[in-house]
Amino acid sequence: MSLSTAEEVYNAWALPGGVRAEDWWITASVRAFLSSTGMGEVKDPSASVTLEPAAALVKGTDGPDWATVCVLMKVSAPTSRSPSHCEHGGWMVAPGAPPAPAPATWPGTQLAHEAGWRTWSTDHTTEPAHPGDTEGEH
């Protein structure tokens, strides 16, 4: 939750020709959080903010090296919400206009499942069933 760190991350991930680091969605989100809490350019060390990937969505592909992918984040902060973030390219921030955001939903809900979000898993298990699913349809 630092503007300089957000810009460093953008510079490491971005290909030439994209939006400027200060206009990147994540930098703008950090700026909005810091502004709304009156913290300046860096999060106050006493404030707790955690981000955890909750779901993923592939919005589209164009060959083996190009995709628009999104991550739905679970945010725990004084002004929490669950933002999603999308990028297109070969796992870098690609040139050109950023993709439209994915549907914003609460992670793990039926609405998230219907929008195409799939639960983020780091233990390589299958996704849990969602309300209304029948066996083998998820």
What is the average pLDDT value for the chain, to the nearest integer? Answer: 75
What is residue 7's predicted lDDT score, i.e. its pLDDT?
A: 92
**Structural domain boundaries enclosing 48:** 3-119
pTM for the whole thing? 0.54
Please state, in angstroms and rounded to a whole number, the distance separating the CA atoms of residues 128 and 120. 11
Token output for 86: 């999308």
DSSP state of 35: H
79-96 pLDDT, tens per residue? 544 555 666 665 667 777
Residue 31 has pLDDT above 80, yes or no: yes
Please state, in angstroms and rounded to a whole number, the distance separating the CA atoms of residues 50 and 70. 18
What is residue 8's predicted lDDT score, i.e. its pLDDT?
A: 93
Using CA atoms, how far residue 107 sits from 27, 53, 59, 60, in Å, is 22, 9, 17, 20
Residue 127 has pLDDT above 60, yes or no: no
**Phi and psi at residue 14, in whole multiples of 5°?**
-90, 145
Q: How confident is residue 135, by pLDDT bands cut at 50, 70 and 90?
A: very low
Please state, in angstroms and rounded to a whole number, the distance separating the CA atoms of residues 71 and 20. 21
Structural domain total, the chain: 1
Residue 137 lies in a domain: no
Residue 7 lies in a domain: yes
41-53 pLDDT, tens per residue? 777 777 777 778 8
Residue 132 lies in a domain: no
Burial track 101-124 (b if 16+ CB lie within 10 A, e otherwise): ebeebebbeeebbebebebbeeee
